[in-house]
Amino acid sequence: MTPSPLGLYLHIPFCRQRCDFCSFYLEIHRESRAEAFVRSLRHEIELSAQQHVTTNRPIQSVYFGGGTPTVLATTQLVAILSEIRTHLTLAADCEITIEAHPSTISEQDLVQLLQAGVTRLSFGAESMEDGDLDRIGRPGSVHETVGAMTRSRAAGFTNINLDLMYGLPDQSLEGWRRTLAHCLTLKPTHLSCYALTVEEDTKLASNIERRLSPAPDEGLQIEMDEAAQGILSDAGYERYEVSNYAQPGYACRHNLLYWTNGEYLGLGPSAQSYLNGIRFGNIADLAAYDTSLTANRLPIESRTRLSEEEQLRDAVIFGLRLIRGIPSHHLHQHAANYGHAAVTAQLLAQQLIEEHGERSRLSARGRLQADTIAGQLY
């Protein structure tokens, strides 16, 4: 029997500064901290390979996320990849993605990453209007994003994602359309379009509370989502998940693992894993993470074994986000397991979930309320 695919996520917890809207676990980058972290991460790779019984399972996708992975020196990123290859088995066609901030990477770095086997880049562009970037405290400029795309292509990368956000403070529908149009001239293979959400304890939340910044307008965000759907599908991009669009054949294999309830090992502080029906997570504290690994202990702080019903629940909730949806009988089985029959019937009657033959998925309106619907089905 072919072993089921496995993904590997590496959380690089450093950025040069924190953007106003960001609530991820991260630290401000310092050389000495980064060196200690890379030592710990390499040790975690080795220990995990010994203890998680993954050695014989081919890893089909590796994803460096964060944080900003490219604040590490390229030699450090290459050393981490080499450690992975020493202890784990990568599939021959393994997708290897690195998230990058456009201003943190030179053409020489890019050539080295390509030679080390990186197959996919993901740039956090956020907007193609400098005023938008200023208003969300996002360092960098549109000019840098354009330069990063040019350098990536010159280095030989062909598979490049741009992350965008919409519903930014004072961003107009026209401004969003301009951002999309500008992105299309750069010909990314993949675009992620996220509605801005205001997370607690962020500078943005405090700015909104103090009326220094407007709160996102939900109605406008819906119009922006519809604009993205129209503009990107006209340009040949297929929407395959609530926030994700790809040219044919370029859907992100790693993220698809999450939405199909596939298995993945997450390494680095705060990284989450799902293996053999168990969800487990690392400690979200860099010093404690380093201490644990120095003592030869995996830095896992929480572990939950999911029942079959819970595994189906997660498969339904994540899978509904996919445009291809899930088998309808999974939706109804989950509704029966959790006493959600009435809620499910209502979501179908309101056409927030739609059934097409034997598959069910969020409708176009449902996609705009994906998180609320997930909460109702949990």
Is 11 an interacting residue with respect to ligand SF4 (CB under 6 A)? no
Q: Would you tell me the crossing angle of helices 218-234 and 173-186 to the nearest 10 degrees?
A: 30
Report in angstroms how near the CB of residue 41 gets to ligand SF4 at its nearest.
Answer: 17
User: Measured at the alpha carbon of residue 93, what is the angle toward residues 325 and 48, in degrees to the nearest 5?
Assistant: 85
User: In the window 123-142, what residues touch ligand SF4 (CB under 6 A)?
Assistant: 124
Tell me which stretch binds ligand SF4 (CB under 6 A): 62-70, 147-155, 344-352, 361-369: 62-70
Q: Which of 6, 10, 12, 15 binds ligand SF4 (CB under 6 A)?
A: 15
Q: Which of 48, 61, 68, 189 binds ligand SF4 (CB under 6 A)?
A: 68
Is 198 an interacting residue with respect to ligand SF4 (CB under 6 A)? no
Phi then psi for residue 14, to 5 deg, are: -125, 145
Closer by beta carbon to ligand SF4, 24 or else 338: 24
Q: Would you tell me the crossing angle of helices 107-115 and 74-87 to the nearest 10 degrees?
A: 10
Closer by beta carbon to ligand SF4, 15 or else 315: 15
Is 67 an interacting residue with respect to ligand SF4 (CB under 6 A)? yes
**In whole angstroms, how far apart are CA 26 and each of 16, 79, 273?**
10, 21, 18
Q: Beta partners for 195?
A: 166
Closer by beta carbon to ligand SF4, 196 or else 228: 196
What is the CA 266 to chain-centroid distance, rounded? Answer: 13
Closest C-alpha to 67, from 268, 322, 293, 330 = 268
Tell me which stretch binds ligand SF4 (CB under 6 A): 18-26, 49-57, 343-351, 363-371: 18-26
Q: Which residue is nearest to ligand SF4 (CB)?
A: 22
Is 24 an interacting residue with respect to ligand SF4 (CB under 6 A)? yes
Go through 234-255 and write b for each residue having 16 or more CB atoms within 10 A of its CB, e for each that does not. eeebebbbbbbbbbeebbbbbb
Report in angstroms how near the CB of residue 280 gets to ligand SF4 at its nearest.
Answer: 23
Is 152 an interacting residue with respect to ligand SF4 (CB under 6 A)? no
DSSP-based three-state secondary structure for 219: helix
Distance, CA of 92 to CA of 102 (rounded, Å): 29
Tell me which stretch binds ligand SF4 (CB under 6 A): 16-24, 277-285, 333-341, 370-378: 16-24
Closer by beta carbon to ligand SF4, 7 or else 66: 66
Report in angstroms how near the CB of residue 19 gets to ligand SF4 at its nearest.
Answer: 3
Q: Which of 8, 12, 26, 286 binds ligand SF4 (CB under 6 A)?
A: 26
Is 22 an interacting residue with respect to ligand SF4 (CB under 6 A)? yes
Tell me which stretch binds ligand SF4 (CB under 6 A): 11-19, 27-35, 189-197, 247-255: 11-19
Closest C-alpha to 105, from 138, 63, 150, 65 = 150
CB 122 within 8 A of CB 97: yes
- Nearest-Å Rg of the Cα atoms of the chain is 21
User: In the window 78-107, what residues touch ligand SF4 (CB under 6 A)?
Assistant: 101
Is 19 an interacting residue with respect to ligand SF4 (CB under 6 A)? yes
Phi then psi for residue 98, to 5 deg, are: -125, 125
Distance, CA of 59 to CA of 94 (rounded, Å): 7
Q: Which of 5, 66, 319, 325 binds ligand SF4 (CB under 6 A)?
A: 66
Closest C-alpha to 163, from 255, 244, 64 = 244
Q: How many residues bind ligand SF4 (CB under 6 A)?
A: 11
Report in angstroms how near the CB of residue 26 gets to ligand SF4 at its nearest.
Answer: 6
Footprint of ligand SF4 on this chain (CB under 6 A)? 15, 18-19, 22, 24, 26, 66-68, 101, 124
